[in-house]
DNA sequence: GTTCTAACA
DNA sequence: TGTTAGTA
């Protein structure tokens, strides 16, 4: 698993990331403010992005083009990273179920659908694409 | 020349 | 989101 550290190595400045992602510096910085990405910083406070950061930005870009807002992208992204087990996203007891609001139930439903798809096809952008319609 | 933050004729 | 100002 040493490939992971390579993908997370902070390598390129914002200028290169702009060309790699076709995003403006403004957008990249804006997404960072909204915690969609967390690039490293040099001593001089300049951002340094890793391959993972670039991949993440490409995903964000795809979702933006699908018409999602920051809030929607956050949710889609959060369901990716934490490879939550089914038990964690399943409503366990009746008591617990009663405490959930309608909004929570929808959120839970989306997570479960996402997990099933991820289990069958393994991870992929297509899954996000399908799921994105829930966040319009 | 590049990047950063803050702000808006 | 664009863009500009003043820096580092």
When pLDDT is averaged across residues A8-25 and rounded to a whole number, the result is 96
CA-to-C1' span, A25 to B5 (A): 13
Residue A31, token pair as written in the block:
């997404």
Between residues A68 and A17, the one the model is more confident about: A17
- Rounded CA–C1' distance between A26 and B7, in angstroms: 13
A29 beta carbon < 7 A from strand B?
yes
Q: Is the CB of A98 under 7 A from strand B?
A: no
Which nucleotide is at minimal CA–C1' distance from A44? Answer: C8
CA end-to-end span of chain A: 37
Q: What is the DSSP letter of A133?
A: G
* Contact by Cβ (8 Å): A136, A67: yes
Instruction: Check residue A103 and give its pLDDT.
Output: 59
Q: DSSP string spanning A70-103? A: HHHHHHHHHTTSS---HHHHS---HHHHHH--HH
Residue A64 CA to nucleotide B5 C1', Å? 25
The neighbouring-strand residues paired with A41 are A47
> What pLDDT is attached to residue A48?
97
pLDDT at position A72 is 81
CA–CA separation, A33 and A79 (whole Å): 20
pLDDT by residue (tens digit) across A79-135? 777 665 555 556 555 555 555 555 566 766 766 666 555 555 444 544 455 555 555
For residues A29 and A51, give the distance between their C-alpha atoms in angstroms, rounded to a whole number: 17
Q: Which residues pair with A47 in a beta bridge?
A: A41
């Amino acid at each position: 698993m040493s490939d992971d550290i390579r993908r997370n190595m902070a390598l390129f400045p914002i200028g290169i990331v702009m060309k790699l992602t076709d995003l403006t510096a403004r957008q990249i910085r804006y997404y960072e403010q909204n915690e969609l990405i967390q690039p490293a910083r040099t001593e001089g406070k300049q951002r340094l992005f890793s391959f993972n950061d670039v991949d993440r930005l490409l995903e964000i870009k795809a979702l933006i083009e699908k018409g999602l807002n920051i809030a929607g992208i956050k949710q889609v992204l959060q369901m990716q990273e934490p490879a939550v087990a089914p038990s964690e996203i399943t409503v366990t007891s009746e008591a617990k179920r009663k405490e959930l609001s309608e909004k929570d139930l929808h959120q839970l439903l989306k997570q479960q659908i996402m997990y099933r798809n991820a289990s069958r096809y393994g991870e992929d952008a297509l899954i996000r694409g399908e799921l994105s319609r829930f966040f319009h």
